[in-house]
């Protein structure tokens, strides 16, 4: 394996046997079944997935529940064995998966640190050198000398996280483990994570927190139902993931009756993704949403929806009601969108969001949250929507997205979305810390 590669996953498949009854499981294990008959159904948690992580990269894996994210991490760390395929790892791994899984509940905290450290592969002397850092990070005081079974759940995960994060690994694998403990401990966890990234460690990161994926990851991988859908910039993959969430991205079937069908499914998946990629961000609505908008509209915006409604116009005006692409901080401005309806809808929801250039959603709202419009509309209706507010974001470049959604028989439905449709510059002569200005009034006496 190339020395520049930290993790190489090749054609990885994990198949689980699903039994209708426990007796079928027992009969199958003992071989008491008819010839050429199956007592189980095959479920592919991973279907021919390949992935390369280079040294010093931070790679995020995203996908819906059941997409295979945790499964692939467990195979990489050796917790699970693959059904087929190959995994190569070049470097010492620390995994934040099921925190404290190897703890002995009868031992005290110190004993468990030594026990787990040695299981990972460290000598007693190496653990001694790291002991102070582990205890300082966990910050559970004298409880470290008490049996782990007496710990609260918060103390337990603090100690487990402190052990895993302070052994100075070459590769860190994280599965939704940064949001443990109270808010202060979570902040400490993220600072440590950032320290790892600054030090050029290789990080493989699974999270449902899309802002964290956008902020920390150099690249993102999208899985769905065990199938590799694509990889690219966090922003690009998150936008496609949101299509998957609302059922408007063409997906291959992942549940098959036999592993012999894997190649066919993979070919179908790749063909479907290719067809979709040719459409994503390039579709022109009938009324020409892009043509009806000002020159600041993004020609490569991501556009999708079921067509029940169309956003035919969108723009921003300043405090003098003039169309603009630049807003002066602390002044009022308005976001406008015109929507044409192609069918009767009981209660459409109009929305906008602001993203920074990293793809992190900063703020946004919708008509349902604001309780501004809860009426039904008829096919052929046209609505003009205006969101008026004060600009409190820091100076910089932002992207605005628009959406018309609703609920069809309690199912959330996207009628039309335009992601990253407009670029807006916020002009400021005073930037504070973070994303927005709290407008603080300072008094010194």
Share of the chain above pLDDT 70, in %: 86
State the virtual CA torsion across 92, 97, 98, 104 in degrees, nearest 10.
Answer: 10
Out of 9-13, 17-21, 339-343, least confident range:
17-21
Asked whether the beta carbons of 408 and 376 are under 8 A apart, the reply is: no
Asked whether the beta carbons of 90 and 96 are under 8 A apart, the reply is: no
- Domain 289-427: give its CATH superfamily: abc- transporter (atp binding component) like domain (2.70.50.60)
**Rounded distance between C-alpha atoms, residue 413 and residue 405, angstroms:** 6
Domain boundaries along the sequence of the chain:
5-91+170-224, 289-427
More confident residue, 76 or 185: 76
* pTM, two decimal places: 0.72
Q: Report the SS3 class of residue 216.
A: helix
Q: Which tokens in the block code for residue 255? A: 């549940």
**Rounded distance between C-alpha atoms, residue 390 and residue 363, angstroms:** 13
Predicted confidence (pLDDT) per residue in 298-332, tens digit: 887 889 999 999 999 999 999 999 999 889 999 99
Asked whether the beta carbons of 102 and 119 are under 8 A apart, the reply is: yes
| φ and ψ at residue 68, rounded to 5 degrees | 105, 10
Share of the chain above pLDDT 90, in %: 46
pLDDT score recorded for residue 157:
83
Q: Which tokens in the block code for residue 423? A: 């670029």
Whether the pLDDT of residue 343 is over 80: the answer is: yes
Element (H, E) at 268: helix 262-279
Which is it for strands 411-427 and 396-408: parallel, antiparallel or unpaired? antiparallel
5-91+170-224: CATH architecture:
3-Layer(aba) Sandwich (3.40)
Across 273-292, b (16+ Cβ under 10 Å) vs e yields: beebeeebbeeebeeebbee
Out of 118-127, 139-148, 277-286, least confident range:
277-286
Average pLDDT, the chain: 84
| φ and ψ at residue 419, rounded to 5 degrees | -90, 135
The DSSP secondary-structure symbol of 283 reads P
Q: Report the SS3 class of residue 410.
A: coil
| φ and ψ at residue 52, rounded to 5 degrees | -125, 130
Alpha carbon 152 to chain centroid, angstroms: 29
């Amino acid at each position: 394996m190339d020395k520049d590669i930290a993790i190489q996953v090749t054609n990885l498949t994990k198949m689980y046997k699903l039994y209708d009854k426990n007796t079928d499981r027992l009969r199958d294990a003992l071989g008491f079944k008819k010839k050429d008959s199956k007592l189980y159904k095959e479920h592919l948690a991973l279907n021919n997935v390949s992935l390369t992580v280079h040294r010093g990269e931070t790679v995020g894996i995203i996908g819906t529940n059941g997409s295979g994210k945790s499964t692939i991490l467990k195979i990489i760390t050796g917790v699970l064995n693959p059904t087929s395929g190959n995994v190569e790892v070049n470097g010492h791994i620390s995994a934040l998966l099921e925190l404290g899984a190897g703890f002995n509940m009868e031992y005290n905290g110190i004993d468990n640190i030594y026990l787990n450290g040695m299981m990972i592969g460290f000598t007693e002397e190496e653990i001694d050198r790291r002991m102070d850092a582990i205890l300082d990070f966990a910050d559970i005081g004298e409880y470290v000398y008490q049996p782990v079974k007496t710990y609260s759940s918060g103390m337990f995960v603090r100690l487990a996280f402190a052990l895993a994060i302070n052994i100075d690994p070459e590769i860190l694998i994280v599965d939704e483990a940064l949001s443990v403990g109270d808010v202060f401990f979570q902040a400490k966890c993220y600072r440590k994570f950032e320290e790892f990234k600054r030090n050029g460690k290789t990080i493989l990161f699974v999270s449902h927190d899309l802002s964290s994926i956008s902020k920390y990851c150099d690249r993102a991988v999208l899985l769905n139902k065990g199938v590799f859908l694509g990889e690219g910039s966090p922003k690009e993959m998150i936008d496609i993931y949101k299509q998957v969430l609302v059922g408007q991205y063409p997906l291959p079937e992942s549940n098959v009756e036999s592993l012999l069908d894997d190649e066919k499914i993979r070919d179908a998946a790749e063909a479907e993704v290719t067809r979709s990629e040719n459409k994503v961000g390039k579709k022109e609505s009938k009324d020409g949403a892009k043509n009806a908008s000002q020159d600041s509209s993004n020609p490569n915006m991501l556009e999708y929806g079921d067509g029940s409604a169309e956003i035919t116009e969108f723009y921003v005006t300043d405090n003098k009601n003039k169309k603009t692409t630049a807003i002066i901080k602390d002044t009022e401005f308005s976001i406008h969108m015109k929507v044409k309806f192609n069918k009767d809808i009981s209660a459409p929801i109009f929305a906008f969001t602001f993203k920074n250039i990293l793809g992190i959603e900063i703020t946004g709202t919708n008509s349902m949250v604001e309780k501004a419009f809860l009426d039904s509309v008829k096919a052929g209706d046209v609505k003009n929507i205006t969101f008026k507010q004060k600009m409190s974001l820091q100076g910089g470049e932002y992207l605005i997205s628009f959406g018309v959604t609703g609920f069809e028989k309690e199912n959330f439905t996207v009628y039309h979305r335009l992601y990253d449709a407009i670029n807006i510059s916020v002009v400021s002569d005073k930037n504070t810390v973070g994303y927005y200005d709290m407008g603080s009034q300072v008094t010194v006496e």
